[in-house]
C-alpha cells in the first residue's frame, strides 16, 4: 500500500515538473522574440544618437577650425583673398573695379567673397556685373560672373608697329557720336612709353586716363600671327592699395575676457600727384604682381584669359622697366576725338558711350 502511494507521489511530481518546464519554455519563446525586437530598436536608436553626436561635435570642431583659419594672420586670410581678387581684376581687366564687396566664412573649411564690378565712363561709375568666388581653405573653387549691359571682352589694344587701317575705323564711330556724350576709348600708342611720359601727355586735357597697358613680354603680337591684344596686363590710374601700403596713424587695443583682444587701426595710404608719382605707381604695380604670384592659383581662377605666368612677367618688367603701349581713357567725346591728330596715338578701340555726365577736374 505504501509502495502504491509512493509511486503516485513520484508520478504527480514528474507531471508537475514537466508542466512547469513546458510553461517555462513557452514563456521564454515569447519573451525572447519581444526582447530581440526591443534590443534591435535600442541598438538602432543608440547608433543614430551616436552618429548625430559625432556630426554635431564634428561640425563644432570644423566651425571653430574654419573661423580660426580664415581669421588668422595680420591681415587675416579672408582679407588677403579679397585683396587678391580685387587686385587681379584691376590688373587683368581694363577699367574694371571690384566694389561693394562682402566676405563670409562658412562651415567645413569654406568661405565666400562677392562683389559688384564697375567701370568708369565719363565721371560716373557704371555697374557692369557681379562676381562671387568660393574658397575651400586656400584654394579658389566655384566662381560665378554675372554680366550686365551686354558686357564683352571685345575691346583690344595693338602693340606698337602692328596697327593697320582697320585698327582706326573706330575714329569714324567716335566722330558720329553727338555732342553732349562721353566715351570710353582704348588707345594704342606708336611706341613704348614710360609712365611719366604717358601721364604728362594727358596733363591739362579734358579727359582722364583710367588704365594703362604694360608690356610684360607676352604682348608683342608682331612676333606671331595675332594682330591684337585681348588679355593685357596693366594698372589703374587709381591704385588698388594693399593692407601693407597703409601708413598707420593710430592703433588701439582693447582686451576682453581672459585671452581676447580687439585691435583698431586707422591710417592713410600714399598720396599720388595728379598726372605724377610715376615711380610710386610703377613700384606699386610690380608689388601687386609679386603679391598675385604668391597666390597665383587664385589669380588664374579670377582672371579672364590664359594662364598668367606671373614670374615671367615680373622678371621681364624688372629687367626692362614699366613700359606702356596703351591706355583706357574716358571723357567728352569731342575732346577724345582731338587725339586723332596726335602722332603718338596709333589706333583706338571704342568702348562704351553715355550721355553727358562730365564734371572731372584735376
| Residues 105-132: tens digit of each pLDDT | 777 777 888 999 999 999 999 999 999 9
95 phi, psi to nearest 5 deg: 55, 40
Task: Give the per-residue SS3 of 175-235.
Answer: HHCCCCEEEEEEEEEEEEEEHHHHHHHHCCCCCEEEEEEECCCCCCHHHCCCCCECCCCEE
Angle at which helices 77-92 and 2-71 cross, to 10°: 50
Instruction: State residue 153's pLDDT score.
Output: 67
The structure's pTM equals: 0.80
Instruction: List beta partners, residue 331.
Output: 183
Q: CB of 63 within 8 A of CB of 270?
A: no
* Planar angle of CA 336, 173, 236, nearest 5 degrees: 45
CA distance 37 to 137: 47
User: Which residue stretches of the chain are H helix?
Assistant: 2-71, 77-92, 170-176, 195-202, 278-294, 296-302, 310-320, 333-337
* Secondary structure in 3-state letters for 223-275: HCCCCCECCCCEEECCCCCCHHHCEEEEEEEEEECCCEEEEEEEEECCCCCCC
Nearest in space to 354 (alpha carbons), one of 197, 200, 146, 124: 124
CB atoms near residue 204 (< 10 Å): 7
> For residue 31, what pLDDT is reported?
61
d(CA 86, CA 96): 10
To which H or E segment does residue 140 belong? strand 139-147
pLDDT band at 7; cut points 50, 70, 90: very low
Average pLDDT, the chain: 83
Structure confidence by residue, pLDDT tens digits, 196-241: 999 999 999 999 999 999 999 887 665 554 568 889 999 999 999 9
Grid cell for residue 233: 596686363
Cell numbers linked to 28: 521564454
99: nearest Cα among 117, 81, 83, 113: 117
Domain boundaries, the chain: 1-71, 77-147, 165-240+271-355
Q: Which residues contact 255 (CB under 8 A, 6 or more apart)?
A: 261
Cα gap 201→278, rounded to integer Å = 13
Predicted confidence band of residue 287 (pLDDT cuts 50, 70, 90): very high
Q: Are 43 and 81 in contact (CB under 8 A)?
A: no
pLDDT digits (tens, 9 = 90+) for 43-61: 788 788 888 877 777 677 7
23 has pLDDT over 60: no
Give Cβ neighbours of residue 211 (< 8 Å, ≥ 6 apart): 94, 95, 234, 235, 236, 237, 327, 328
Pairing assessment for the beta strands 110-121 and 247-256 based on DSSP bridges: unpaired
Q: For residue 33, is pLDDT > 70?
A: no
Q: Give the tens place of pLDDT for each residue, 231-247.
A: 999 999 999 999 888 87
Amino acid at each position: 500500500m505504501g509502495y502504491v502511494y509512493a509511486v503516485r507521489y513520484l508520478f504527480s511530481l514528474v507531471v508537475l515538473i514537466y508542466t512547469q518546464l513546458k510553461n517555462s519554455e513557452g514563456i521564454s519563446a515569447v519573451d525572447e522574440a519581444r526582447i530581440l525586437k526591443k534590443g534591435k530598436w535600442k541598438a538602432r536608436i543608440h547608433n543614430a544618437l551616436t552618429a548625430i553626436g559625432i556630426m554635431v561635435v564634428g561640425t563644432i570642431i570644423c566651425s571653430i577650425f574654419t573661423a580660426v583659419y580664415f581669421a588668422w594672420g595680420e591681415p587675416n586670410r579672408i582679407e588677403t583673398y579679397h585683396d587678391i581678387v580685387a587686385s587681379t581684376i584691376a590688373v587683368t581687366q581694363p577699367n574694371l573695379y571690384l566694389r561693394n564687396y562682402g566676405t563670409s566664412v562658412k562651415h567645413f573649411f569654406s568661405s565666400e567673397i562677392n562683389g559688384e564690378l564697375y567701370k568708369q565712363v565719363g565721371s560716373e561709375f557704371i555697374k557692369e556685373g557681379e562676381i562671387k568666388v568660393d574658397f575651400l581653405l586656400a584654394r579658389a573653387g566655384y566662381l560665378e560672373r554675372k554680366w550686365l549691359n551686354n558686357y564683352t571682352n571685345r575691346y583690344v589694344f595693338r602693340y606698337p608697329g602692328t596697327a593697320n587701317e582697320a585698327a582706326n575705323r573706330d575714329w569714324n564711330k567716335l566722330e558720329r557720336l553727338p555732342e553732349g556724350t562721353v566715351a570710353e576709348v582704348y588707345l594704342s600708342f606708336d611706341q613704348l612709353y614710360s609712365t611719366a611720359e604717358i601721364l604728362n601727355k594727358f596733363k591739362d586735357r579734358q579727359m582722364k586716363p583710367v588704365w594703362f597697358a604694360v608690356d610684360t613680354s607676352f604682348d608683342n603680337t608682331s612676333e606671331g600671327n595675332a594682330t591684337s591684344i585681348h588679355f593685357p596686363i596693366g594698372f589703374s590710374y587709381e591704385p588698388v592699395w594693399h593692407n601693407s601700403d597703409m601708413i598707420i596713424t593710430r592703433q588701439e587695443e582693447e582686451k576682453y575676457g581672459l585671452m581676447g583682444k580687439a585691435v583698431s587701426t586707422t591710417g592713410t595710404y600714399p598720396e599720388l600727384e595728379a598726372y605724377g608719382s610715376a615711380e610710386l605707381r610703377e613700384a606699386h604695380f610690380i608689388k601687386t604682381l609679386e603679391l598675385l604670384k604668391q597666390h597665383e592659383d587664385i589669380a588664374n581662377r579670377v582672371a579672364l584669359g590664359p594662364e598668367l605666368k606671373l614670374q615671367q612677367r615680373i622678371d621681364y618688367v624688372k629687367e626692362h622697366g614699366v613700359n606702356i603701349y596703351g591706355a583706357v581713357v574716358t571723357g567728352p567725346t569731342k575732346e577724345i576725338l582731338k587725339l586723332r591728330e596726335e602722332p603718338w596715338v596709333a589706333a583706338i578701340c571704342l568702348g562704351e558711350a553715355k550721355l553727358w555726365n562730365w564734371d572731372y577736374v584735376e
